[in-house]
Chains A and B, each alone.
Chain A
């Protein structure tokens, strides 16, 4: 071996060693202790996480020359510098140790002493001096969360849209995949909007979404079979909009809406989205029959949702009596936009006869908020006990209402309360229960008031939620740079395996027309 080869070999051996050292930062030896909790982004201080969640990454949310952080559980620790970005294997080990060890924290005020948790120490360097912030804990729940989350990625625009995707993300790591992308069927002028993805009981094989404009129609996938449905019919207001899959039947209830939007000159909400008309319809996947199930001219019905037993349908409805002196319905609504108060109703359903019963009031918002409120998006917990909904002073589209919060009704006791432990000063809107009923995911704009991010929260036996945590990303700064919103987060038991091009091919074909019937066939 000549001298050149020797030096090459030396360098080859040295390089991994250098890399190894550079990846293993050490904690500072000299530092000042601080009683202040560190400001980190995302805010994971004191949150509760499921056992199977992807590694929580964070960065210091203040100016500092350097940051070192440590996750500790028992004798297992992870130390990262710059940003806290643990490797998946190390994180899994840490979680396992936390669950097995149930070590107590140095500061019992941080969490329940014997609850499984990870201790977090954050050190920041300012002007050459290190500060050790007050340690905090991340509580680990043995309740797992559904491993996949699907959502639509959409910029927070008002009228325009360009690239939209319905995507899915593995919550156990950072893997993100596209379920469908509208650019596959959209052209410059003939764009395609996609929305309202929905699944039957968290089943990725049974899903639906709508495509509007170019190659529009409703896509229904059921156990490997794909169908495009043309739901427009003269007997209903519009094609189906907000869907609700029956828990086991091949039946979907939709709202039908004439939706419009206008813009505020001053208000921070910027936009008001409203319906001038809306009804509820039921659609039978087998027979392609549709029928109206709620179509009162003085009510605006919207956001259907099934109870897990499949025998009760919940929905929101607002009383709106048209002012005959105003010709145009939209002008009429705009004139009274802040007096649109939606209550939550339910109606019985007989799966054998496919017959719906009369509506019954479940949530009266007048009694809950001074000046009235608007309760939307009813969602029943899998055990049927809780009704989770979104509430704001008025209107039908709470994602654009900064005042929107999550509320919950205990259907056993009848108690209704705002989820103060979950809500933020900003928007909380679309929400879903996990399949085991132990977690909820909801859309929140608490980061910046505009860009919706999914947050997760754990519910305990007493119906109390834990402090929510934001969807973890490989780079903790990702959501600050990302210019799209996570719209309609829905849990999935496993990933959707249909390919985007399968949907595109289907959409380019003709849709099956629906047949309007007075009553669905039994």
Chain B
């Protein structure tokens, strides 16, 4: 027993925090980076005012401020852990939790952790600003208010009922505009807690009634007289993320419900009185403090044994509770290979680390999403290796692992359009998404880039001016000012130089219907411009994607004309071999196609013929084994445009 109690009372929570921090940094560095790219904090009055038009605006403001530190994931994690440490300390202090029960203070932190690491594809469409910190700061503030309430209950002796009622009312009246639902939750918990803290039923009733009436009536009051930007249906849920696309995804609210339940349980458990605290009857040395302790005698050996047994049971119970919460956290932690590859690739692209993108692509085990395939092809194009290597990687078109419909257009649409030289469409996507889901650093950066590419200098200055107000993107903005002003610098820049070669699409008045790859490839394929070898090469690759033999021959002719001395890329040779055979082209033996490719195609053709009518899965496996790195396989087995 002594060994148990001698462990520093806060060691378990601190250890838990260290583990959480390590896990975050090891498992989610790219996701954390993406969190800050999907965030925006501007150091301006306009930004502050814009957030304050909704209840809980201050919470979002603070949340966005802290989220920006994920730019360096370890700094963000340090800050998050700092908040969680404060929360755990407050929980322990507020509910006077003794050392044996101390592990349970980690439980709310785990629930809050789930709200972040369980996001997955919500990261692209969640509207709540500063989400990663909003829950944490809101909960911490609510617990701090509970602590203050407890102090008021215990210390104020002059008109105590009135003072408590005023305190609860103020919690709601001030807490709601500043903290949204967290202010309301604090008032609700106070209204419940008073029945444990106050033995006089009438006084408790008064406080409780004040609390519940405030929670019920103040939000409609604020809705009617203060805020214009909240629907009446949402007034009680201000600053709770809205997991809604075409329907409500209630499972994502589970950690919030558990968080509330945790505190409801805390306030319903028997409370230690001020006297007990003063006498140290239930302190660290004596055992766990309320709400989880029973009063125990310290006299005699029997009592000692009972104490020891009780203490052990309590410690085990606390640890068990923590384990259950940890298991729940582990199960709710979103680990999807494609999602993580997508985010990692986006980060590499942001750094222009094209080899990094390919390294990520090489790790791919599962069937990739089109977003992954597109980013990989982009990296290969940037490195001038697309024609020789694009079929060397796992290809596919797997749906995103999310319960709602999310496509490449949501995750990488703007990125792809920009890098493939369609600034109008990239700009449009950023604008639409910024309006719908709130402005993010990522969008402002693409808006600025697109404006630069389109020669809209003043517009670029607007977005760069905003980015200069951020803590971590000002330097990037400064570097972009030069590109905005000097076309020569733009053409020579490592980022935009390539893109300027791609801006030769035909003028069309149309729409992409949210199908990025399909639209882009068809625009490339139908482009009539033949002045730039890079553009023509991409147009040729687009025909491979579309499996369009007619356009393939057209673009191959242009390609050969522009690159008379260059050998056809491997996959182009494969396509020429395949399409030529299918189109019964003559004199194919004179084409510059490598003999090994000719042989390989023969083998593929024979095998494909043999497998005709066979089970698709079996045929796929057999063909992949031998021809998985050829265009023959991709052309036969991958249905590119089905889901992008």
Contact = CB atoms under 8 A, between A and B. Distances in A.
Interface of A: 155-163, 165, 178, 181, 183-189, 262-268, 270-272, 334, 337, 447-451, 475, 478, 480-483, 500-501
A183 B425 CA distance: 28
A334 B233 CA distance: 41
Interface string B338-375: 00000000000000000000000000000000000000
B411 interface: no
Contacts of A450: 456, 459, 462
B242 A160 contact: no
Contacts of A162: 435-436
B435 A262 contact: no
Contacts of A183: 228-231
A420 B279 CA distance: 87
B291 interface: no
16 contacts: A156-B431, A157-B432, A157-B434, A160-B432, A181-B229, A262-B511, A263-B509, A265-B505, A265-B506, A266-B505, A266-B507, A268-B454, A447-B462, A448-B456, A448-B462, A450-B459
A263 B428 contact: yes
Contact of A481 (B47, B433, B456, B508): B47
B246 interface: yes
Given A178-B228, A500-B228, A264 B509 contact: yes
B424 A270 contact: yes
Interface stretch (B38-46, B88-96, B100-108, B292-300): B38-46
B596 interface: no
Contact of B242 (A185, A188, A265): A188
B539 to A, nearest CB: 14
A449 B42 contact: no
Given A157-B431, A263-B425, A501 B224 contact: yes
Interface in B423-456: 424-425, 427-428, 431-436, 439, 454-456
B425 A448 contact: no
Given A185-B231, A189-B246, A268 B509 contact: no
A263 B424 contact: yes
Give 7 nearest A-B pairs by CB, closest first. A181-B228, A157-B435, A160-B432, A448-B458, A160-B436, A481-B46, A188-B244
Given A264-B424, A451-B462, A475-B45, A187 B233 contact: yes
Interface string B502-535: 0101111111100000000001000000000000
A264 B44 contact: no
A265 B435 contact: no
Nearest to A186: B231
Given A165-B228, A181-B229, 7 more contacts: A163-B229, A262-B509, A263-B425, A265-B505, A267-B507, A270-B427, A447-B462
Contacts of A266: 424, 503, 505-507
Contacts of B44: 481
A498 B26 CA distance: 56
A162 B53 CA distance: 14
A184 B505 contact: no
Given A264-B424, A264-B508, A482 B228 contact: no
Among A165, A178, A263, the most chain B Cβ lie within 10 Å of the Cβ of A263
A337 B509 contact: yes
B228 A264 contact: no
B465 interface: yes
A501 B510 CA distance: 39
A270 B244 CA distance: 30
Nearest to A338: B509
A265 B231 contact: no
A418 B511 CA distance: 34
B424 A480 contact: no
B249 to A, nearest CB: 12
Contacts of A159: 432
Contacts of A478: 46
Contacts of A156: 431
Contact of B465 (A165, A178, A481): A481
B78 to A, nearest CB: 30
A187 B242 CA distance: 11
B380 to A, nearest CB: 24
Contacts of A270: 424, 427-428
B466 interface: yes
B461 interface: yes
Nearest to A508: B232
Nearest to B431: A157
B45 A334 contact: no
A312 to B, nearest CB: 36
Nearest to A402: B456
Contacts of B523: 265
Nearest to A154: B435
Contact of A449 (B242, B439, B459): B459
The CB with the most chain B CB atoms within 10 A, among A160, A181, A188, A265, is that of A265
B141 interface: no
A183 B235 CA distance: 11
A61 to B, nearest CB: 10
Contacts of A262: 509-511
A264 to B, nearest CB: 6
Contacts of B318: none
Interface string B16-56: 00000000000000000000000000101111000000000
Nearest to A450: B459
Contacts of B229: 163, 181, 183-184
Contact of A447 (B427, B458, B506): B458
A157 B439 CA distance: 12
B422 interface: yes
Contacts of A334: 509-510
A156 B435 CA distance: 9
A165 B50 CA distance: 13
Nearest to A481: B46
B460 to A, nearest CB: 9
B228 to A, nearest CB: 4
Nearest to B469: A481
Interface in B480-511: 503, 505-511
A430 to B, nearest CB: 20
B231 A187 contact: yes
Nearest to A274: B509
A266 B424 CA distance: 7
B484 to A, nearest CB: 12
Nearest to B503: A266
A91 B233 CA distance: 45
A265 B424 contact: yes
A272 B509 contact: yes
Contact of A155 (B47, B233, B242, B435): B435
A205 to B, nearest CB: 21
Given A162-B435, A449-B458, A189 B228 contact: no
B203 to A, nearest CB: 37
A268 B450 CA distance: 11
Contacts of A447: 458, 462
Contacts of A264: 424, 507-509
Contacts of B46: 475, 478, 481-482
Contacts of A482: 46
B456 A265 contact: no
Contacts of B425: 263, 265
Contact of B466 (A161, A187, A271, A481): A481
Contacts of B436: 157, 160-162
Contacts of B424: 263-267, 270
A139 to B, nearest CB: 26
A392 B459 CA distance: 21
Contact of A268 (B47, B456, B508): B456
A478 B512 CA distance: 34
A501 B220 CA distance: 12
Contacts of A500: 228
A501 B246 CA distance: 27
Nearest to A189: B246
A275 to B, nearest CB: 15
A158 B428 contact: yes
